[in-house]
């Protein structure tokens, strides 16, 4: 029985040693395209992992998000394109803050690319 739910609230009275999971060992369902997995959720944020599986954004598709997103590349490599007309080549450990409504897309991405993304509401 977990001590806390996914928002970190206590479910019990006795502290227990936390459960450890690994970012690389999440099962990847069959099929194509990115896999999003929610890791943690708070009042004003949502932390998720993204396994890209080599799939760039569909032709002509742009993310245009109402909230800012902080993202870090945990494994692999990728190239992101932005509505500004610029592109960014990313390697492991690279992180950036994508402001709300800045259009962006995954131009190319390696098979093993794994991201952490923190979506949050602006203060």
Residues in the site for its own copies, rule: CB under 8 A?
3-4, 7-10, 15-25, 39-40, 42-45, 47, 68, 70, 72, 74, 82-84, 86, 88, 90-102, 116, 118, 120-123
- The rounded distance, in Å, linking the Cα atoms of 21 and 109 is 25
Query: What's 10's DSSP letter?
Result: B
Which among 116, 89, 105 has a CA at the least distance from the CA of 57? 105
Closest separation in Å from C-beta 3 to its own copies: 6
Which residue, chain included where needed, has tokens 């990115």?
34
C-beta closer to its own copies: residue 12 or 32: 12
Closest separation in Å from C-beta 13 to its own copies: 11
């Amino acid at each position: 029985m977990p001590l806390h739910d996914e928002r970190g609230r206590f479910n019990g009275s006795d502290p227990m040693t936390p459960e450890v999971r690994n970012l690389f060992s999440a099962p990847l369902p069959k099929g194509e395209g990115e896999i999003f997995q929610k890791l943690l959720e708070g009042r004003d944020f949502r932390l998720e992992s993204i396994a890209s599986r080599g799939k760039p954004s569909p032709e002509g598709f742009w993310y245009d998000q109402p909230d800012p997103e902080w993202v870090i590349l945990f494994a692999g490599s990728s190239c992101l394109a932005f509505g500004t007309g610029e592109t960014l080549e990313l390697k492991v450990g690279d992180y950036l803050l994508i402001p709300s409504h800045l259009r962006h897309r995954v131009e190319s991405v390696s098979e093993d690319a794994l991201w952490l993304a923190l979506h949050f509401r602006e203060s």
